[in-house]
């Protein structure tokens, strides 16, 4: 089954073609970073308009790179939430219209399920069950995964997500948008231990996260110290170390609570090198395994939507003709894979 995937939940237009027999046939991505850089963050209306301009040309490119004609596509998957409502509507409307014109089934994909399943695009895939750490600009969650659509939320952020805290702290440091990757780059030059920031909620039971206090600690350090380049790097390093340690502690706790030894990490923050190294070392000591997608599939992309959609379409699920999006959509509301016409 060949499925066209469309991702337009925020500020990236991602298109891909996935085949259930041959794997990923093509994927193309357009980032709106330059468009939003002058504003220091994503402007929803501008994001929607750019998706309108870019989606169809990228679909043509993805089909060309996959060496396929439209009549060779067996289904269409598009992100229907969570995300910016205008951006979601662009991809959903185009995806549903193409499916109608091509007379193939379509399905709306949960953005975070796409991230969660992105490691399945790699040669080494995790077996179910496992614990998933989903870390992005909008979400920080720990989820027990027993199968596709079989999700138990173990813990989540009660305020800022990890990626959001990265971006806000980067802005406090005067770094350009997108701030998270720039902060991580600056932290490479930082001296560990010069600043000590809290590891929020690690002294309390449970698996929820909180990063707003950590952001405040960084803001205080920035205000109270000379704003030279080395100090900025040292603050960035302290902030990154605190986030990594917090995520690490909570992951260990989740694995102990569930009795599992497989961990999947996905979402934009999963590209962080220090976090990857720390989790790999921890899982090695625990005799377990950690899985994550390649760097290009950590951020928003069409490949993860095409893959997730293909699994559900192949199981007989599909969306009704009406275009529906859900800017807010709990992951735990998704039906199991064996539920037809969900």
- Extract the annotated binding site for Fe cation: 111, 115, 300
Candidates 308, 166, 320; CA nearest to 244 is 166
Contact criterion met (CB below 8 Å) for 144 and 260: yes
DSSP state letter for 162: H
Q: How many Cβ atoms are within 10 Å of 256's Cβ, its own excluded?
A: 10
Paired with 266 in beta bridges are 134
Contact criterion met (CB below 8 Å) for 148 and 279: no
Q: Which positions make up the binding site for substrate?
A: 134-138, 167, 180, 272
For 144, the token pair is 């027990």
Candidates 118, 111, 104, 112; CA nearest to 76 is 104
Q: Which positions make up the binding site?
A: 111, 115, 134-138, 167, 180, 272, 300
Candidates 195, 199, 164, 203; CA nearest to 180 is 164
For 284, the token pair is 């090695």
Concatenating the DSSP letter of every residue in 168-202 gives HHHHHTTPPSSHHHHHHHHHTTSPTTSS----TTT
d(CA 333, CA 149): 8
């Amino acid at each position: 089954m060949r499925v066209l995937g469309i991702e337009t939940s925020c500020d990236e237009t991602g298109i891909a073609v996935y085949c259930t027999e041959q794997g990923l046939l093509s994927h193309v991505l357009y980032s709106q970073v330059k468009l939003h850089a002058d504003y220091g963050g994503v402007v929803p209306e501008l994001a929607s308009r750019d998706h309108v301009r870019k989606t169809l040309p990228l679909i043509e490119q993805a089909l060309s790179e996959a060496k396929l004609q439209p009549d060779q596509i067996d289904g269409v998957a598009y992100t229907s939430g969570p995300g910016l409502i205008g951006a979601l509507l662009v991809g959903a409307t185009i995806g549903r219209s193409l499916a109608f014109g091509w007379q193939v089934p379509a399905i709306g994909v949960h953005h975070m399920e796409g991230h969660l399943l992105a490691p399945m695009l790699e040669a080494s895939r995790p077996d179910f069950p496992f614990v998933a750490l989903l870390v992005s600009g909008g979400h920080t969650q720990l989820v027990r995964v027993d199968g596709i659509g079989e999700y138990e939320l173990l813990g989540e952020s009660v305020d800022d997500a990890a990626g959001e805290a990265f971006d806000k702290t980067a802005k406090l440091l005067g770094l350009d948008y997108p701030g998270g990757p720039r902060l991580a780059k600056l932290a490479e030059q930082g001296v560990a231990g010069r600043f000590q920031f809290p590891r929020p909620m690690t002294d309390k039971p449970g698996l929820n996260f909180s990063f707003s206090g950590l952001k405040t600690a960084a803001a205080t350090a920035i205000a109270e110290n000379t704003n030279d380049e080395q100090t900025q790097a040292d603050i960035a390093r302290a902030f990154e170390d605190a986030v990594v340690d917090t995520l690490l502690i909570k992951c260990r706790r989740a694995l102990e609570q569930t009795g599992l030894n497989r961990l999947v990490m996905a979402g934009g923050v999963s590209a962080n090198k220090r976090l990857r190294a720390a989790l790999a070392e921890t899982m090695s000591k625990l005799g377990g395994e950690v899985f994550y997608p390649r760097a290009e599939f950590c951020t928003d992309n069409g490949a993860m939507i095409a893959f997730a959609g293909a699994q559900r379409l192949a199981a007989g699920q599909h969306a009704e003709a009406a275009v529906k999006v859900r800017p807010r959509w709990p992951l735990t509301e998704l039906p199991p894979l064996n539920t037809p016409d969900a």
